[in-house]
């Protein structure tokens, strides 16, 4: 019986070995999601910029059409022959009709491009905050992992020490935050 106990003791010691420190599996997904988020931000920033240029140009064009319409209608003089007066009046009215169309186009840009893009950029800003939290949790986990690996090596005992449970908890928090970030980005991309 004494021999059988000795056979069990080495196994028992081997089982008491420190738990293996797991690397962060989500880093690749997180890096891809970060790149996707930046690409989306660049795309919507460019779209907003182009929409702003288009609406400003449309506004200027609309004002020019209005001024031209006013000018044409004011040029109608009672002494002009009937044909010239009709042409000037018709051209003036056409300028006002064109102005309405350009104003409608400008409003359409705001409604279909500017407002939705601003909303998406706000969502991307929220994602950027989530990414920042992921980075903080990852950095803290890596700090803990480094301290955990170094335990027993330091002779000063004043350094912060972490248990395997604390390390696992930090890893789980990072994994949860990273999963949520990646999921929310995928949801945003899908519409």
* pLDDT at position 13 over 80: no
Please provide the CATH number assigned to the domain covering 42-190: 1.20.1270
Average pLDDT over residues 3-20: 49
DSSP state of 78: T
φ, ψ of residue 156 in degrees (nearest 5): -85, -20
Q: What are the domain boundaries of the chain?
A: 42-190
- What confidence tens digit (pLDDT) does each residue in 120-132 have? 999 999 999 999 9
Counts for the chain of helices (H) and strands (E), in that order? 5, 0
Given a cut of 50, whether residue 36 has pLDDT beyond it is: yes
More confident of the two residues 114 and 88: 114
Q: How far apart are CA 127 and CA 54, in angstroms?
A: 28
What's the whole-number average pLDDT of the chain?
Answer: 84
Cβ pair 63, 92 in contact under 8 A: no
State which H helix or E strand residue 20 sits in. Answer: none
What is the model's pTM? 0.69
């Amino acid at each position: 019986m004494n021999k059988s106990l000795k056979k069990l003791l080495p196994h028992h010691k081997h089982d008491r070995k420190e738990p293996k420190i797991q690397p962060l599996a989500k880093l690749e997904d997180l890096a891809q999601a970060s790149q996707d988020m930046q690409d989306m931000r660049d795309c919507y920033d460019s779209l907003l910029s182009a929409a702003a240029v288009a609406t400003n140009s449309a506004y200027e064009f609309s004002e020019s059409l209005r001024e031209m319409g006013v000018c044409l209608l004011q040029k109608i003089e009672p002494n002009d022959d009937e044909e010239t007066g009709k042409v000037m009046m018709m051209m003036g009215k056409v300028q006002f009709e064109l102005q309405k169309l350009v104003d409608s186009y400008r409003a359409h840009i705001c409604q279909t491009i500017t407002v939705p893009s601003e909303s998406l950029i706000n969502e991307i800003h929220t994602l950027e905050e989530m990414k920042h939290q992921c980075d903080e949790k990852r950095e803290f986990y890596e700090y803990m992992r480094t301290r955990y690996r170094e335990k027993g090596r330091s002779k000063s005992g004043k350094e912060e020490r972490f248990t395997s449970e604390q390390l696992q908890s930090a890893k789980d928090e990072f994994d949860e935050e990273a999963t949520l970030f990646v999921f929310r980005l995928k949801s945003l991309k899908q519409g």
